[in-house]
Amino acid sequence: MSKKIVAWIDQRFPLSAFVKHELTDYPTPRNLSYWWGFGFLAGFVLVIQLVTGVFLAMHYKADSNLAFDSIQHIMREVNYGWLIRYLHSTGASAFFIVIYTHMARTLYYGSYRRPRELLWWTGQLLLLLMMATAFMGYLLPWGQMSYWGATVITNLFSATPGFGEDIVVWLRGGFAVDDPTLTRFFSMHYLFPFIISAAVLIHLVALHTVRSSNPSGLNLADKDNIPFHPYYTIKDLFGLGIFLLGYFAIVFFKPDLFIDPANNVPANPMQTPADIVPEWYFLPFYAILRSVPDLAGGVVAMLVSVLIFAAMPYLDRSRITGGARYRPIYRTLFYVFVIDIFVLGYVGAHPPASLMKLTGQIATSIYFLTFLLLPFVSRWEEGRLLQSGKLPADVVDMARKEIEASHA
């Protein structure tokens, strides 16, 4: 019976061919580690956010007089409202943990390199969409941090030359963040996940065109592949199990871990809380914003700090494959960069006293220096490594082919 149904569909829609091409026959390198499972996790968290978000929207009221209380209503009175809300608020942080790890893997193993530039850029687009969605969602509880976070971030647009103030008023729909701002943020917060879902499809089409990279960095062509299903469906599901252990541990035992206490106070446009900090996932970028003494300069530095990742395929001029694996200096740069991000995050979470400010400025300089040094360091390291004779023969072969291709 089911075979008949599938046959009936296949005559009208390429269902079996699609499953075969994208899953049961889809060639995947057999040496992928668990670091390659974070893309799947990101997709899974997106589904969690979509489902919990749709159900929250059934009880939430996007009105500046009702929003804060409607969250209390969800937490106290709606059946399992507390669970759905904590799944959603924890899910936002989980999403960023997963995405940042996914990006770190790409940077470490050089997965952004030719021919995967477009794959990397669609990922960059997804990051921007996700940041916008998270930022707008954070206003919805209408607490003090929500309100002042939105005030500070919309104010960044006042740095636009010429008509900065007009843009700020237009974005807010008023002279300050108020009811019109809340309703439009809610509307966009509901819309963006669907745009993200579409962008994820594009990301996957790009992935299935260039195929997965792998830890060796070698082009395994068709000789060393295994089908995605069942090998990586099983591996991804195991990774999902581990992820969910951590996720539910927070949801059930420490659900307010990522919720700033000040956000339990309703928004008050007449009083700024003593310490305003953004959500943890924006802290490094916030620290960069604060480290530049000039407003416009700070905004530009912050924008560049997010967008500069897109330039990676061109900044990394080494043609030795495998990312950091065979390249000790690149590996050192990678770890310096990771540590630097944590330092920036720490600085962003604390008031800008003099020592903290200096630390932030040094860390900001290191952040940009790692990117700016990369073109020179990577090419110099390439020459050194190729002459050293310490690289495996097939890595040298691939590098030589890449070098020839770049001359042609």
Partner 1 sequence: MCQNTTEIPDESRRDFLGALTASVAGAGAIAACVPFVKSMSPSSDVLDKATVEIDISKIGMGQEKTVAWQGKPVFILHRTPAMISEMESSKGGKDPEPDSKRIQQPEWLVVVGICTHLGCVPNKTASGWFCPCHGSVYDNSGRIIAGPAPKNLILPPYHFVSEEKIVIGKA
> At closest approach, how far in Å is the CB of 292 from partner 1?
9
DSSP state, 213?
A: -
Sketch the per residue contact string, 179 through 208, with partner 1: x for CB under 8 A, - otherwise.
Answer: -x---x------------------------
Quick check: 95 binds partner 1 (CB under 8 A)?
no
Quick check: 156 binds partner 1 (CB under 8 A)?
yes
Quick check: 122 binds partner 1 (CB under 8 A)?
no
Rounded Cα–Cα distance for residues 73 and 374 (Å): 52
Enumerate residues 6+ apart whose C-beta is below 8 A from 84. Answer: 52, 55, 56, 74, 78
Q: Which of 50/188 has CB closer to partner 1?
A: 188
Q: In the range 23-52, which residues lie near partner 1 by CB under 8 A?
A: none
Rounded Cα–Cα distance for residues 356 and 347 (Å): 6
> At closest approach, how far in Å is the CB of 196 from partner 1?
21
Quick check: 275 binds partner 1 (CB under 8 A)?
yes
Quick check: 155 binds partner 1 (CB under 8 A)?
yes
Pick the stretch among 29-37, 50-58, 177-185, 205-213 that binds partner 1 (CB under 8 A).
Answer: 177-185
> At closest approach, how far in Å is the CB of 110 from partner 1?
37
235 is catalytic: yes
CB 225 within 8 A of CB 30: yes
CA 199 distance to own-chain centroid: 13
279 is catalytic: yes
208 is catalytic: yes
Sketch the per residue contact string, 294 through 313, with partner 1: x for CB under 8 A, - otherwise.
Answer: xx--x---------------
Catalytic-role residue among 111, 212, 291, 318:
212
381 is catalytic: no
Pick the stretch among 45-53, 85-93, 100-108, 178-186 that binds partner 1 (CB under 8 A).
Answer: 178-186
> At closest approach, how far in Å is the CB of 192 from partner 1?
16
DSSP 171-187: HHTSSSS-HHHHHHHHH
CA 7 vs CA 12, 15, 19, 71: distances in Å = 9, 9, 14, 49
Rg (CA), the chain: 24
Quick check: 408 binds partner 1 (CB under 8 A)?
no
- Structure tokens of 293? 């003494």
Exposed, middle or buried: residue 57 (CB in 10 Å: 0-12, 13-18, 19+)? middle
DSSP 356-408: HHHHHHHHHHHHHHHHHHHHHHHHHHHHHHHHHT-S-HHHHHHHHHHHHHHH-
> At closest approach, how far in Å is the CB of 293 from partner 1?
6
- Structure tokens of 243? 């992820």
DSSP E strands in 77-196: the ranges are none
Single residue of 144, 151, 214, 263 touching partner 1 by CB under 8 A: 151
Q: Which of 363, 370, 368 is nearest to 330 (CA)?
A: 370
Catalytic-role residue among 93, 146, 203, 279:
279
- The 3-state DSSP class for residue 27 equals strand
Quick check: 351 binds partner 1 (CB under 8 A)?
yes
| Count of beta carbons in the 10 Å neighbourhood of residue 299 | 19
Q: Which of 187, 92, 332 is nearest to 195 (CA)?
A: 187
Single residue of 22, 63, 178, 224 touching partner 1 by CB under 8 A: 178
Enumerate residues 6+ apart whose C-beta is below 8 A from 73. Answer: 59, 81
Quick check: 176 binds partner 1 (CB under 8 A)?
yes
Pick the stretch among 25-33, 38-46, 54-62, 163-171 that binds partner 1 (CB under 8 A).
Answer: 163-171
> At closest approach, how far in Å is the CB of 117 from partner 1?
29
The residues assigned a catalytic role are 208, 212, 235-236, 279
Residue numbers of the site for partner 1 (CB under 8 A)? 148, 151-152, 154-156, 169-171, 173-176, 178, 180, 184, 269-276, 290, 293-295, 298, 351-352
